[in-house]
Amino acid sequence: MAEAREQPSDLQPVLVVIPTYNERDNLGPIVARLHAALPSVHALVVDDGSPDGTGDLADEMAKADERVQVLHRTEKAGLGAAYIAGFNWALERDYAVVVEMDADGSHAPEDLPRMLDALADADLVIGSRYVHGGQTVDWPKSRELISRGGNLYSQLALGVSLKDITAGFRAFRRGVLEKLELDGVASHGYCFQIDLAWRTLQAGFEVVEVPITFTERQIGESKMSGSIVREAAVRVGAWGLHHRVEQIRRVFGRPGSDDAEHEQPPATADR
């Protein structure tokens, strides 16, 4: 169990964004664990009108604890859109660090203090299942295969060495989110995670992976689907192709035009 402690002053205050869709049974326990591990962090629940009343529960929690805030959105618009809304909410306030964390218990809040420590020497810290010391618990082999396949595909397509670019447990320094053009991010499912990591690397920021223990959700339903996998495959392939074309253009002294891939952030660094 991680001990409760304070973060360096330039890494405070911290906002943990928790997107929810039908997580009524998971939300209370995960926020309690978060505050046991890190009493001073704030949590923002971004709920997309969950039919099971997760949003109402979040309101009750917010009433009882000033560290909890809620952002209600009217319809299920995907994980990516929920995070972008949460990031914009954070940037309108004075948060120095913004964390992504699932509500389903897969991301252990007890791992977060180590991740925030690593942020002292990084701009983005990714909680990684696939670096030394990282692990998955109770995850069906089929899901791990999709996850590992998605990572290998991303490594090959984008030429990055991150071991877990699809991971959704992350801590960003505020400056990263300010620099990335968040309104141009259209990815929905776990492609959103690849998208943000890729944009962060392209902008020249330091990205570090810290080992975590990822545990299969115990309660509730996964929102993972075939269309989420297809979205990632198509988009990541297109980004990789665009990146390679830009590299070739640079070698031959012909800087590319901006209209080649309208969603692509400008490449300011080669990683």
**Full strand arrangement of the beta sheet holding 42-47:** 68-72, 42-47, 14-20, 97-100, 170-173, 124-128, 207-211
Q: Which listed residue (190, 192, 205, 239) binds ligand GTP by CB under 6 A? A: 190
Min dist. Cβ of residue 83 to ligand GTP (A): 8
CA max distance for the chain: 62
Per-residue tokens: 84: 């972008």
Q: How many CB atoms lie within 10 A of CB 152?
A: 11
58 binds ligand GTP (CB under 6 A): no
Alpha helices for the chain (secondary structure H): 24-37, 54-64, 79-91, 112-118, 141-158, 174-179, 191-202, 226-251
Count of positions on this chain that bind Mg ion (CB under 5 A): 3
Min dist. Cβ of residue 9 to ligand GTP (A): 30
Q: Which stretch binds ligand GTP (CB under 6 A): 41-49, 61-69, 153-161, 250-258?
A: 41-49
Count of positions on this chain that bind ligand GTP (CB under 6 A): 21
Q: Which stretch binds ligand GTP (CB under 6 A): 60-68, 175-183, 215-223, 230-238?
A: 215-223
72 binds ligand GTP (CB under 6 A): no
Site string for ligand GTP, 92-121 (x = CB under 6 A): ----------xxx-x---------------
78 vs 240 by CB, closer to ligand GTP:
78
Judged by beta carbon distances under 5 to 8 A according to partner kind, the member of Mg ion, ligand GTP, none in contact with residue 114 is none
76 binds ligand GTP (CB under 6 A): yes
Distances (CA, A) of 54 to 23, 61, 206, 217, 219: 6, 10, 35, 16, 14
Evaluate whether 75 touches 49 at the Cβ level (below 8 Å): yes
Residues 6 or more apart whose CB falls under 8 angstroms from that of 152 comprise none
26 binds Mg ion (CB under 5 A): no
Per-residue tokens: 54: 């997760």
Interior CA angle at 42 toward 65 and 131, to 5°?
135
Min dist. Cβ of residue 62 to ligand GTP (A): 16
104 binds Mg ion (CB under 5 A): yes
Q: Give the residues lining the site for ligand GTP (CB under 6 A).
A: 19-21, 23, 46-48, 76-79, 82, 102-104, 106, 190, 217, 222-224
